[in-house]
């Protein structure tokens, strides 16, 4: 069926990119970095990519919230909501895999570090978005208030993940204060796997949002059969 490929090629692309990152992520040569990090630097392709995918999901949610505020089309609110859900999925995976990697490399799953704490606070801010939504019954009111909150949540994301960690004096985690950020100093060979992996996860994120939005619409139509 050619229409299958025409409509779903991008989903296959996303899966292929991630599959590529798994195969190439293990086969390429990685630089020998200081400390005992060794081969585990390959976690860049599986842990760090989660954070980038998360930020894109939350960014998408922000855009949809703004579009809702300018059009009051409730469809945008639904996408904004599901985007936060998928963003939180990636964020929680990032936290858990980060703790696993930290425990293995630093001997402890958490440190008092601006980047770690910032990521945790950001995730809490978006969980609060879910709690806020649940506290309001009326559709349009909920959408409006949630959309405004979403703007603040994204500002918090920028502050806690993008700004404060760079101001810190130094940390075990790359990217803070004096040490160079993961991305700008990334080994060129690793970049060949890192960027496609991020693209793959972003695509899968959009697919997940797409599925959840469609499910919500079906549920809505089943609950309200008299409305078209």
Partner 1 sequence: MEESKIFVVILVLSTVLIGLGIYLFMLDRRIKKMENEIKSNKD
With CB under 8 A as the rule, give the number of residues binding partner 1: 19
Alpha carbons 21 and 211: distance in angstroms, whole number: 24
Given 3, 169, 224, 228, the residue binding partner 1 (CB under 8 A): 228
From 1, 3, 6, 27, residue interacting with partner 1 (rule: CB under 8 A): 27
The radius of gyration computed from the CA coordinates of the chain, to the nearest angstrom, equals: 20
73: left (phi over 0), alpha (psi -120 to 50) or beta: beta
The values of phi and psi at residue 30, to 5°, are -115, 145
| 21 close to 201: Cβ distance less than 8 angstroms | no
Which of 1, 131, 167, 222 contacts partner 1 by CB under 8 A? 222
Distance CA 219, CA 228 (A): 13
Among residues 189, 191, 208, 201, which one has the least CA distance to residue 19?
A: 201
Our CB check for partner 1 shows the closer of 81 and 129 to be 81
Shortest Å, Cβ 133 to partner 1: 23
Residue numbers 191-220 binding partner 1 by CB under 8 A: 204, 207-208, 211, 214-215, 218
Instruction: Report, in Å, the least distance between residue 39 CB and partner 1.
Output: 9
| Interacting residue ranges for partner 1, rule: CB under 8 A | 8, 11, 15, 18-19, 22-23, 26-27, 204, 207-208, 211, 214-215, 218, 221-222, 228
């Amino acid at each position: 069926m050619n229409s299958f490929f025409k409509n779903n090629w991008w989903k296959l692309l996303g899966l292929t990119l991630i599959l590529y990152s798994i195969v190439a992520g293990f086969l390429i040569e990685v630089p020998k970095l200081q400390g005992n990090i060794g081969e585990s630097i390959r976690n860049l392709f599986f842990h760090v990519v989660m954070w980038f995918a998360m930020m894109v999901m939350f960014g998408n949610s922000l855009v949809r919230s703004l579009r809702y505020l300018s059009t009051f089309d409730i469809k945008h609110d639904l996408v904004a909501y599901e985007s936060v859900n998928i963003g939180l999925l990636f964020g929680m995976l990032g936290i858990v895999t980060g703790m696993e990697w930290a425990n293995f490399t630093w001997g402890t799953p958490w440190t008092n570090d601006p980047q770690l704490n910032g990521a945790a606070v950001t995730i809490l801010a978006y969980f609060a978005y879910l709690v806020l939504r649940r506290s309001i019954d009326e559709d349009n009111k909920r959408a409006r208030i949630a959309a405004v909150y979403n703007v603040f949540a994204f500002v918090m994301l920028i502050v806690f993940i993008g700004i404060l960690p760079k101001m810190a004096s130094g940390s075990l985690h790359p990217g803070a204060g004096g040490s160079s950020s993961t991305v700008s100093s990334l080994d060129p060979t690793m970049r060949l796997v890192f960027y496609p992996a991020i693209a793959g996860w972003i695509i899968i994120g959009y697919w997940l949002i797409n599925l959840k939005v469609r499910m919500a619409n079906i549920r809505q139509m089943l609950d309200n059969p008299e409305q078209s």
